[in-house]
Amino acid sequence: DAGVTQSPTHLIKTRGQQVTLRCSPKSGHDTVSWYQQALGQGPQFIFQYYEEEERQRGNFPDRFSGHQFPNYSSELNVNALLLGDSALYLCASSLARGQGADYEQYFGPGTRLTVT
């Protein structure tokens, strides 16, 4: 049973560029959430996707956008990269609210993004 997978593992980009990160949820899960974890901090919620739509969003600018595909996998896009976007980006998968156990929110290994 595959867990949550993310690609790429590491990424180096230049200020102003655009980046796309990818996530495949755990088998059987249909909801994907994205988090940003800056160095020395706890993860911060970016947004969540369910049924190919953004269902909830955290306090992040419009430069951060996402997409969910029919197979439940998801992409996180960040435009006009800033130095402050350097962080570990974590994807978490779960079942739709009310469909599974409340504790079922499993994380992938993350993508470490460095902006120079």
Buried/exposed code over 31-46 (b: 16+ C-beta within 10 A; e: otherwise): bbbbbbeeeeeebeeb
22 near another protein, judged by CB under 8 A: no
Count of positions on this chain that bind another protein (CB under 8 A): 27
Whether residue 94 contacts residue 100, with contact meaning beta carbons closer than 8 Å, is answered with yes
Four-point Cα dihedral 53, 4, 24, 98, nearest 10 = -30
Site string for another protein, 54-93 (x = CB under 8 A): -xx-x-----------------------------x-x-x-
**Closest approach of another protein to the CB of residue 63, in Å:** 19
Interacting residue ranges for another protein, rule: CB under 8 A: 31, 33, 35, 40-45, 48, 55-56, 58, 88, 90, 92, 94, 97, 102-103, 105-110, 112
